[in-house]
Structure 1
Amino acid sequence: TTQNRLGQTTSSTTTVGGDSYSVNGQVALYMVDSHGDINFPILGKIHVEGFTREQVAEKITADIIKADLVKDPIVTVEFANTGISIIGEVRSPGRYEFNKDHLTIIDAIAMAGDLTLNGVRENILVMRNIGDGRHEAYRVNLLNAKELASSPVFYLQQDDVIYVEPNNKAKRETTPNGNSPYTASFWVSMGSFALTIATLILTLTR
């Protein structure tokens, strides 16, 4: 019995032309090319663009049976090297791999431990690679459910980058004495300065 488990690699996996074939028959990875095809052994090119994992599995199963290669094949399809990056004011920034058909921006932020207290929820930036070296930037408001659900980045894609901006308080803390205008000592100093100026003006006008 030969098993091809799509989506995992082992030390015995070798890469050929972007696709990986296991020397022990246990693991194989197939890259979807720019035309939406995978190059499957013996069956040749299989078009999978727009299919869910279940639909890809059903198609490969049917093609294997049709070619009379295996009487009762079991095909499991998983994602490989599918990840997003989450940076900025989240508790655990980093690169996150996922193995789901649909990953929402809410799911992604939850994986990163939610926003910190300094994160701006109303203006999340999502950068998306739209091909040919071009990127598109989107802004989403997590506090507006209707706007969020209709956003083109509500469902994330491979290699999306989520950036959570810091609030004004956090931005000021990045500079020396950035928050000093908001301390009690600053306002006491300003009050003393204003009183000195007022006294000087009264003295000069007498």
Structure 2
Amino acid sequence: MSDPAPRIVRRETHSPRSTAAVIVALCLAVVIAWVATEGVLSLLGLPALLLSPRGMLTSVAGAPDASAASVIAVAVAAGLVGVVLLAIALLPGRRARRPLHAEHAIVVADDTMLASALARTAARTAAVSADAVSVSLGRRTATVRIVPVSGTRVDRDAVRGAVTEEFTRAAPTRPARVSVLVSPAGKVGS
């Protein structure tokens, strides 16, 4: 029996494609039901809801004779829809979560929780208040922004080292590049 941990981590850190698949299936079902309804109404000799089957066929057959602008607009719209659907199908949809190190459990943490922990570490190291530090996490980067009290110097290297150590302790499988930005204009008071 295989280890379920990698599957669980992948399921929690990547977004499923089921929503996009359901939306595409519903759109196709609506179009097919509409075309079928128009066909039945035509067979019964009743007026069409939007466009009769004969009208659909003549507009498709007359597409080469249409103006170049309308043909290009339809082609661009269809191409954009195709590219979006292809991107949804092929690109990994990553949630803002990452696996953390734990000995006997599977721990997946939200990026905002991890950013908050990194901000506390940076604030403690820089000797500033917690509201003077903000951290944003990317896939492989962490950006620490510090607004110190006016006249106070912040040791960027010490902050970078402390945040890197904290990040490595929490998520050792994904090393991150940490950048520290210290605001040149400090704030007044603590």
What TM-score comes out, normalization by structure 1 length? 0.25
Q: Greater share of helix residues, 1 or 2?
A: 2
Structure with bigger RCO (C-alpha 8 Å, 6+ apart): 2
User: Normalising by structure 2, what TM-score?
Assistant: 0.27
